[in-house]
Amino acid sequence: MRKKINVAIAGVGNCASAFIQGTQYYGSNDSASNDSASNNDMIGLTSFNLGGYEPSDINFVAAFDIADTKVGKDLSESVFASPNNAMSITNVPLFEVKVNKGNVLDGFGRRYSEKVKISDVPQTDVASILKDSKTDILINYLPVGSREATRFYAEKCLESKVCFINAIPVFIASDPNWQTRFIDKNIPCAGDDIMSQMGATVIHKTLAKLLVDRGVSVDETFQLNVGGDMDFYNMLDEDRLEDKRVSKTSAVKSMIPYDVPMRIGPSDYVAFLQNDKVCYIYVKGRIMGAVPIELDLKLRVPDAYNSAGVMIDAVRGAKIALDRNISGPLESISAYCFKHPPVQMSYSAAKSDFVDFVNGKKDK
C-alpha cells in the first residue's frame, strides 16, 4: 500500500480543477488524456517520484466552496461546474467527497456576485470536517482579495492541526505573526501566491536577474496581464488587487539591487481568452557606453495548468515536512513554488534548495 497525502481544497475554481486533473493525469493510461500510451512523464513536475510520493498519492478528502453551482456536488463534478473554464485533460473519477459550504466572508467580491449565486445551504464546521476527514494539508485557492476568508481557513488549520498551503496573494506563510502561530502549534505552512511553471513572474524575475548579472542597467519595466476567467474578472475590482501587485512586484524587485520604476500586475479581462492568460513584459535599459536597449516579451498560456504541476510538487514537499515533523514556514518549498515566500531567492537557488530539502540535505 502506498502512503497517501490527504488533501482538502478551499475554493474549487480553475486552479483546483487543473490540480485535481493533474493528480489523475500522471500515471494514468487514460484514453481521454493527451498521451494515450502512458503519462508516467514528468512534464511540469520536479520529478515523477518526489521523496517517495507520486502525484496519484494525493488523495482528496474534503472540499469547501460557496457557489451554488459547486456546493453539494461531488468534488469530481464540481471542478467542471460553471464558471470554471479550465480545459479538460483527463477523466476524473467520482471521489465521493462532497463540496461543503465554507464561510463566505470577503471571498465573494462585487464581480463574483455578478456571475455566481451563493449557495443557500447552511455553512459547515470547517475545523470538524478537517479533523474527521484526517486532512493532512489544506490548499487555499480563494479569489484574490479574500483576506478575511484566507485568515479564516488558516485559523481552522491551526485549530485542527492541518498544514496550510496558500496559493493566493494574502500574506500568511510570509507574515511573521502567522509564522509564529504555526511554529507554536507545530504545524508547517507554505506560500504565498503560487508561482506558475512558466508564468509571468518566473520569467520576469529570471530576466531581471540575467540583465543585472550581465551588467545591464535596468531603467524601467512593466508586466501587463490579461485573461478571460473568473480570476481575471474578479481582479477588475482594483480594491482587491493590492496584495497581488505587492506579491508580483516584490518577486521582480528582489532581483534588482537598486530602485527601478516598475508597474506589474493584472491589467484587464478579455472574455474570449477563457482560461488563457496573455502576458506582456517590457524592459528598457542600458548596456556599455550607456547605449539604450529595449526588450519585449509575450507569453500565452492556459493559466490554471501553469500552476497545477507546481502545486503537485508543493503538496508532496509539504507532506515530506509533515513526515519529518517540521513546523512553521517551509522556506525552500515556498521560495521554489511561490511568488511571495518568507525568503525570496533566485529561481535557480530556490530549486536547488528545494531538491536539497526533499533529499534531506536541508532542514526547511
Ligand X SMILES: NC(=O)c1ccc[n+]([C@@H]2O[C@H](COP(=O)([O-])OP(=O)(O)OC[C@H]3O[C@@H](n4cnc5c(N)ncnc54)[C@H](O)[C@@H]3O)[C@@H](O)[C@H]2O)c1
Exposure string of 266-300, with b = 16+ CB inside 10 Å and e = fewer, is bbebeeebbbbbbbebbbbbeeeeeeeeeeeeebe
Nearer to ligand X, 138 or 326 (CB): 138
Report the residue closest to ligand X, judged by CB: 13
Shortest distance in whole angstroms from residue 36 CB to ligand X: 26
Residues 17 and 84 sit within 8 Å (Cβ to Cβ): yes
Residue 212 burial (10 A CB sphere; 0-12, 13-18, 19+): middle
Helix or strand or coil: residue 222?
A: strand
- The rounded distance, in Å, linking the Cα atoms of 187 and 358 is 18
Nearer to ligand X, 67 or 137 (CB): 67
Shortest distance in whole angstroms from residue 266 CB to ligand X: 8
Looking at the DSSP bridge assignments, the partners of residue 139 are: 9, 165
Residues 71 and 65 sit within 8 Å (Cβ to Cβ): yes
Instruction: Name residue 356's amino acid.
Output: D
Shortest distance in whole angstroms from residue 342 CB to ligand X: 17
Nearer to ligand X, 67 or 315 (CB): 67
**DSSP conformation letters of 85-103:** -PPP-S-------BEEE--
Shortest distance in whole angstroms from residue 26 CB to ligand X: 18
Residues 192 and 170 sit within 8 Å (Cβ to Cβ): yes
Nearer to ligand X, 169 or 317 (CB): 169
Shortest distance in whole angstroms from residue 37 CB to ligand X: 28
Shortest distance in whole angstroms from residue 234 CB to ligand X: 6
List interacting residues with ligand X (CB under 6 A): 10-16, 64-67, 70, 84, 102-105, 107-108, 141-144, 146, 149, 167-168, 193-194, 196, 229-231, 234, 303-304, 306-307
Nearer to ligand X, 117 or 361 (CB): 117
Q: How many residues belong to the chain?
A: 364
